[in-house]
A and B are shown apart, each in its own frame.
Chain A
Amino acid sequence: MSINIAHTDTFEELTREGFVIVDFYSTTCVPCKMLSRILEDLTEDYPFVNIVKVNVTDDPKLGADQQIEAVPTVKFMRDGEILETVVGLMDEDEIIEKISEYFYN
């Protein structure tokens, strides 16, 4: 699996099946860049986990639709349903913990 970039017209399709980590970020946000790097590393370690990225600078409508008030925001979703939303930078271990908690449950 891989990292996919979602836009308003593709978000639903990319998140409707299975477990997905959705990263809402903005172009200039520094913590977002750190999170992005962590997710890229994780996708190498856990290639079966789907990651979807949404640039709310480029797609503010999707950000507003998803009620994103700050970036980075990470949503852990399964079959289109939100399992948990975390606002702010997460470290690698925290994300791994969430994968363990949600991917297999």
Chain B
Amino acid sequence: MAEALRIKTRAAKTYDYRSVDISEYAVGFTPDEEQYERDLARVLKRYGTKQEAQIVEYGDTVTLTCVSELPRYNKTGLPVIVGKGLFGKDIEDALVGMRNGETKTALVDEKPVEITVSRIVHTVLPELTDENVASFGMEGISTVRELRRSLIKKQVEGFVLEDENADMASAFIWQEVARNSVIERDPEEYAHILKKAERKIGDFAAEQTEGMDHDSLVNIFVSELDLAAIGADMMEKDGTCLTVEDYNSYIDKLCEAYPDRRREDIAADHTVLDYAIENFANYLAGAIDRYVADCFKELLTKGI
């Protein structure tokens, strides 16, 4: 079994991030009804029945052959979704009503394009009823209302990714967890992180640190060590761990990406301790971000 990575800094008491109330941050979302209709159409299409058809209708997937002096319209075996407008509105409009095997001449930029339909696939969409939605077998969704809520939740996921309030909620949780947890810092690791902080702060451009004093910047690095201790504890409870193999594989990848650099130099710049601190802290950060996203999804779709 691979050797597990550990840090000596310990969380003597961990504050549960799930106990932080972030409801005041979950504001400002309005469902995009057009997006909802598009997403709903995709779901219905996914559970629709594909049928070979004889006459082209809007929405059908048609395979066709075009003959023309225009290179774009001189192709065989082209798939076209009629009405999407990707291939060309004039041609797609001309296709509607054509029969399988039929040839017709349409005009594009006043030039003739001979189109022959060789296959028509029509998707029969299921009716939007509770019964049909239940038959889709989507996890936790058995009614039209639940389907709508799940699609709106998907919108919230996108909203959260860009929402400053969600970032602020995550930052607030980090702050609360760091403030209410009791961390026993290992002196060597603490010294290491202080040294790293000084080095990194020196590398920052002035505009990156504008409005922040030196102690606040150092605290950012120190809090990473504290949160790494909590992340390590969490990983252990989750029955997972970082291993020496993970670290070696990380260094291998960096060596591949920077073939001009020596492995020892790369490893010196990315020590095993830095790797462990960063990844333990990221483990906690990932859990907090997921918690924020889940809370926002519930809070912002309440009543839908």
Contacts and interface: CB of A to CB of B under 8 A. Distances in A.
B161 A44 contact: no
B86 interface: yes
B42 A105 contact: no
Given A30-B161, A33-B161, A100-B87, A44 B81 contact: no
A100 B87 CA distance: 6
A37 B246 CA distance: 28
Contacts of B88: 104
A104 B75 contact: yes
Interface size class of A (residues with CB under 8 A): 20 to 34
Interface residues of B, number: 25
A30 B289 CA distance: 11
B145 to A, nearest CB: 22
Nearest to B286: A28
Nearest to B282: A28
Contact of B158 (A28, A37, A58, A103): A37
Given A99-B86, A100-B85, A104-B87, A64 B257 contact: yes
A103 B86 contact: yes
Nearest to A1: B79
B140 interface: no
Given A30-B161, A34-B158, A105 B257 contact: no
A26 to B, nearest CB: 12
Residue from the set B86, B154, B282 with the largest chain A CB neighbour count within 10 Å: B86
A61 B259 CA distance: 9
A63 interface: yes
A45 interface: yes
Decide if the interface of chain B is mainly helix, strand, loop or mixed: helix
B42 A60 contact: no
Contacts of A103: 86
Nearest to A63: B257
A44 B257 contact: no
Nearest to B167: A30
Contacts of A28: 282
B227 to A, nearest CB: 16
A45 B161 contact: no
Interface in B72-91: 72, 75, 78-79, 81, 84-88
A100 B257 contact: no
B254 A60 contact: yes
A45 B81 contact: yes
A86 interface: no
A85 B197 CA distance: 37
Interface string A26-69: 00101101100100010011101000000000111101100000
Contacts of B253: 58-61
Contacts of A58: 253
B231 to A, nearest CB: 14
Nearest to B87: A104
Contacts of B84: 45, 96
B257 A61 contact: yes
B72 A105 contact: yes
A41 B86 CA distance: 16
B13 interface: no
A58 to B, nearest CB: 8
10 interchain residue pairs of minimum CB distance: A60-B257, A61-B256, A100-B86, A48-B79, A60-B253, A64-B257, A30-B161, A44-B42, A105-B72, A104-B87
6 contacts: A28-B282, A44-B46, A46-B81, A96-B84, A104-B78, A104-B87
